[in-house]
Structure 1
Amino acid sequence: MPEVPDVGPLAAALRSLYAVPPEDFMAERRRLVAAEKADGDPAVAKEIGALRKPSLAAWAVNLLAREAPDLVDGLADLGGRMRAAQGRLDTATLTSLRPERDQLLEEVVRTTVQLVADAGRTCSPAAQQDVRATAIAALADEQAMAAVASGQLARTLSYSGFGEVDLAEAVVRTTSGAILSVVKGGGAGPRARGDRRRDDHGAGEHDQADDERGDDERGDDEVGDADGGDAPDEAQLRAALEAAEKQLAVAESEVGRARERAEETRERLAVVERQLAKARAADERALEAVTDAVRARKAAEAARHTAQEALAEHGGPHA
């Protein structure tokens, strides 16, 4: 994520943008960009314009974070207990928590499906699997839990069974690495709540120290060799800066086009998924019709056989 110029307006925009239905995302993003430009804040407008449209499954998880905060709280609580037991290598506790884990995951998926249905959409089996995988990732990783609680996922998460959960391009972060915003009432652990306080009031001392160390480390690479020849003059430096800015502009343009193509692809995929759901429903109705027809045919055959036997008893010819 590029540097966040102003956490306050951007955080407010995130809350608004990721709360709208997927089909309204692009229009809402354009509205927010126009509003920030009108307020004289082009830097924030640029950041808002770069926000990714969530996948349908990510939108469903965001919906869960907003509409079922108690359930997300439960997910955070269980995840904390499981990670603590894992840290102690307490296999007995982990085993005892397994039924609670399975029940909670089922409730997360079931509630999400219902919320999506209440919003006038269908949560496909594939999307349900993505929702479940995201909940598993939240149980395993504290930062993933904070991302889920933020209600601002752009994509769903997954956990491979070791290491940290990859949050790249999944949720907006500040330059300190903290998740930008957490939905009030959502289940976030102590780390997430600390991140939220830093987001509201600026980076904490720990983050500032990290940034200063990063500057020192970068300085070793950026400082030229004192014996490596004459230092470049101002004109050369300006030329290098201009070239770098042009390269950045081209790269940002490519990123924008790529994101637009991805969003268009997701829209087409959503249409195909809806058509597939309709086709499956039609196929089920057709199979039911076949079953009814076969049943009717058997009934007709039985009736014919009964009539033939009755006719034979009366000495008449067989049909």
Structure 2
Amino acid sequence: MADRVAEAMQDLYAVEPDEFMATRSRLVADAKAASDKEAATEIGRLRKPSLAAWAVNLTAREAEDVVADLVDLGERMRSAQSRLDAAALTGMRKERDATVEVYVRAATRAVSDAGRSLSPAAQQEVRATAIAALADEQASAAVTSGQLTRSLSYSGFGEVDLAEALARTTGGAILTVVPGGRGPGPAGRSGGGGKAAGDEAGDEPVGDEPGHEPAGDEVAERRAEREAELAEAERRLADAERAVAAARERAEETRERLAVVERQLAKAREADERALEAVTDAVRDRKQAQAARDEARKALGEPD
């Protein structure tokens, strides 16, 4: 199952945004046809990346050298930071600005080659993601994974928030791609690290007094209560996941509408500039015509 989901992610996060839903549906159907219902469920809940995240994913595939330069600079900057080497960090400032600028241009060009365009707002998200990759090792790995679902940002201190930003780790380990999914380590546990319903029942019940051996009915009752709590927690998490996905879809639609408005505004400004130029030319022509008229009147001896 894990291999099927990992392969599906590789395919899914390589397609253009307009093809994401159809591709995901096809991959779900393939998993169902292979009788892998668990993989079909996980694939079906993979989140569509924002336009900026797709641009970052595309750049990881189309501009490997540019991404490698970003990763290398980030390693050097973090090393200098760990040594508290202020002079080294200051010396890398121009390189940092240039590297980020090259990265944003590469992302913009990759998107353009794919027949799309990045709005100024989306370009700012790509820029913020590159800066986050310089500051944080995990963010750097996320940027190179090609499976980012949203843009990243760095506040200037602490770690970069990667919550719901990745479909999987760079090592291929599946994160929590389904509510309550059990991936490796803490990220794969549901709730606050409590036991899942499928864990062994022989562990000592939490809260029992030393030496107390609960009866079989009591154990079954407690287990049923925990399973009910787990089911409710997974239901709430599923609702929250759907709400987040819907909110991100709306945000992407809003950004796309904003891009359309920005393009219309740019065209309107160009039209306004042309109109002002036409007014200037018309005023100049009127002055010339008035001067010519006055000269003609003088030649005829007519008063002004």
Mark yes or no: TM-score above 0.5. Answer: yes
Write out aligned runs for 1:1-319 (5 A): 6-173=1-168, 179=169, 181=170, 196=171, 199=173, 223-226=206-209, 230=214, 233-237=218-222, 239-241=224-226, 243-244=228-229, 246-248=231-233, 250-251=235-236, 253-255=238-240, 257-314=242-299, 315-318=301-304
**Alpha-carbon separation, structure 1, partners of 2:21 and 2:251:** 13
Question: Alpha-carbon deviation of 1:84?
Answer: 0.8
Alignment-mate amino acid for residue 139 of structure 1: L
Question: Alpha-carbon deviation of 1:279?
Answer: 1.5
> Contact 2:74 / 2:134 at 8 angstroms: preserved in 1?
yes
**Alpha-carbon separation, structure 2, partners of 1:209 and 1:45:** 22
Q: Secondary structure at the match of 2:84?
A: coil
Unaligned runs of 5+ in 2: 175-183, 188-192, 196-202
> Contact 2:153 / 2:160 at 8 angstroms: preserved in 1?
yes
**Alpha-carbon separation, structure 2, partners of 1:221 and 1:116:** 56
Question: Alpha-carbon deviation of 1:245?
Answer: 5.3
> Contact 2:51 / 2:252 at 8 angstroms: preserved in 1?
no
More off after superposition, 136-145 vs 282-291: 282-291
**Alpha-carbon separation, structure 1, partners of 2:289 and 2:119:** 46
TM-score (norm 1): 0.78
> Contact 2:50 / 2:150 at 8 angstroms: preserved in 1?
yes
Partner in structure 2 of residue 214 of structure 1:
none
Percent identical among aligned pairs is 48
Partner in structure 2 of residue 204 of structure 1:
none
| Higher normalized helix content (fraction of residues) | 1
> For residues 21 and 94 of structure 1, do their structure 2 counterparts lie closer, same or farther at Cα, with a shift above 3 Å needed?
same
> For residues 87 and 222 of structure 1, do their structure 2 counterparts lie closer, same or farther at Cα, with a shift above 3 Å needed?
farther
Counting matched residue pairs gives 281
1:269-316 deviation line (CA, Å, top 9, x unaligned): 254134313422331232133123212222222222222331232123
Question: Alpha-carbon deviation of 1:110?
Answer: 1.1
Alignment-mate amino acid for residue 62 of structure 2: E
Question: Alpha-carbon deviation of 1:50?
Answer: 1.6
Partner in structure 2 of residue 187 of structure 1:
none
> Contact 2:24 / 2:43 at 8 angstroms: preserved in 1?
yes
Q: Secondary structure at the match of 2:48?
A: coil
Partner in structure 2 of residue 191 of structure 1:
none
> Contact 1:52 / 1:259 at 8 angstroms: preserved in 2?
no
Unaligned runs of 5+ in 1: 1-5, 174-178, 182-195, 201-207, 212-216
**Alpha-carbon separation, structure 1, partners of 2:45 and 2:185:** 29
**Alpha-carbon separation, structure 1, partners of 2:239 and 2:82:** 43
Question: Alpha-carbon deviation of 1:161?
Answer: 1.1
> For residues 221 and 297 of structure 1, do their structure 2 counterparts lie closer, same or farther at Cα, with a shift above 3 Å needed?
farther
**Alpha-carbon separation, structure 1, partners of 2:286 and 2:44:** 68
Question: Alpha-carbon deviation of 1:230?
Answer: 5.0
**What do you get for the CA RMSD once the two structures are aligned?**
3.0
> Contact 2:50 / 2:252 at 8 angstroms: preserved in 1?
no
Which runs of structure 1 show a deviation greater than 3 angstroms over 4 or more consecutive aligned residues? 208-211, 217-222, 227-232
